[in-house]
Amino acid sequence: MASKPYTIRWGILATGGIAKTFTKDLLIDPSTRGASDVAHEVVAAASSTSASRAEQFLKDCGCPSSAKAYGSYKGLVADPNVDIVYVATPHSHHYQNARLCLEAGKHVLCEKAFTTNAAQAKILVELAKKKNLFLMEAVWTRYFPLAEELRAMVQEGKIGEVKRVFADLSFWNDVEKEFGTESRMVKMDLAGGALLDLGIYSITWVFQFLYHLQPPSHRKPPTVASSMTKYPQTGADEMTSIIMTFPSTGTHGIATTNLRVSHDPDSQASAGAPIRIQGTLGEIQVQGPAYRPTTYTLIPAKSESRGAPADFEYQKVTRDIPGHGMFWEADECARCLRDGKLQSEGLPWEESIVIMETMDEVRRQNGLRYPEAIESTVFPLEGF
Amino acid at 193: G
Q: Which H, E and C letters describe 13-82, residue by residue?
A: ECCCHHHHHHHHHHCCCHHHHCCCCEEEEEEEEECCCCHHHHHHHHHHHCCCCCCEEECCHHHHHCCCCC
> Does 210 have pLDDT greater than 80?
yes
Flag whether 381 is in a domain: no
Judge whether 92 and 120 are in contact, CB under 8 Å.
Answer: no
Query: Alpha carbon of 63 to those of 15, 178, 228: distances in Å?
Result: 13, 32, 42
Rg (CA), the chain: 21
State the catalytic residue, choosing from 68, 106, 112, 187.
112
Judge whether 274 and 289 are in contact, CB under 8 Å.
Answer: yes
Q: Which of 271, 287, 317 is the last residue of a domain?
A: 317
Residue 141 CB-half CA count within 13 A: 23
Flag whether 196 is in a domain: yes
The CATH number covering residue 102 comes to 3.40.50.720
Residues 299, 213 share a domain:
yes
Q: Which of 294, 317, 340 is the last residue of a domain?
A: 317
> Does 310 have pLDDT greater than 90?
no
Q: Catalytic annotation on 112? A: yes
Residues 200, 311 share a domain:
yes
Sheet holding 107-111, edge to edge: 68-70, 38-46, 6-13, 84-87, 107-111, 135-138
Q: Which of 24, 87, 14 is nearest to 47 (CA)?
A: 14
**3-state SS class at 317:** strand
Under the banding of pLDDT at 50, 70 and 90, the label for residue 1 is low
The CATH number covering residue 215 comes to 3.30.360.10
d(CA 201, CA 234): 23
Number of domains making up the chain:
2
Torsional sign, CA 279, 283, 288, 292: negative
Asked whether the whole model's pTM tops 0.95, one would answer: yes
pLDDT for 44: 98
Instruction: Give the H or E element holding residue 11.
Output: strand 6-13
Residues 107, 209 share a domain:
no
Residues 312, 221 share a domain:
yes
Q: Which of 375, 357, 336 is nearest to 135 (CA)?
A: 336
pLDDT for 2: 62
Residues 263, 238 share a domain:
yes
pLDDT for 211: 98
Residues 124, 216 share a domain:
no
Residues 251, 335 share a domain:
no
Residues 237, 186 share a domain:
yes
Residues 113, 230 share a domain:
no
pLDDT for 307: 67
What backbone torsions phi and psi does residue 3 show, to the nearest 5 degrees? -75, 155
d(CA 357, CA 120): 11
**pLDDT tens-place string over residues 33-74:** 999 999 999 999 999 999 999 999 999 999 999 999 999 999
**pLDDT tens-place string over residues 117-128:** 999 999 999 999
Flag whether 384 is in a domain: no
Residues 107, 12 share a domain:
yes
pLDDT for 303: 75
Q: 10 Å Cβ neighbour count for 216?
A: 7
Flag whether 302 is in a domain: yes
Flag whether 322 is in a domain: no
The mean predicted confidence, pLDDT, of the chain is 96
Q: Which domain holds residue 354?
A: 6-141+327-375
Residues 218, 247 share a domain:
yes
d(CA 276, CA 116): 28
Flag whether 291 is in a domain: yes
Flag whether 64 is in a domain: yes
pLDDT for 97: 98
Under the banding of pLDDT at 50, 70 and 90, the label for residue 8 is very high
What is the bridge-based pairing of β-strands 282-287 and 237-246? unpaired
Q: What is the largest CA-CA distance in the chain?
A: 69
Flag whether 188 is in a domain: yes
Residues 136, 153 share a domain:
no
d(CA 24, CA 174): 30
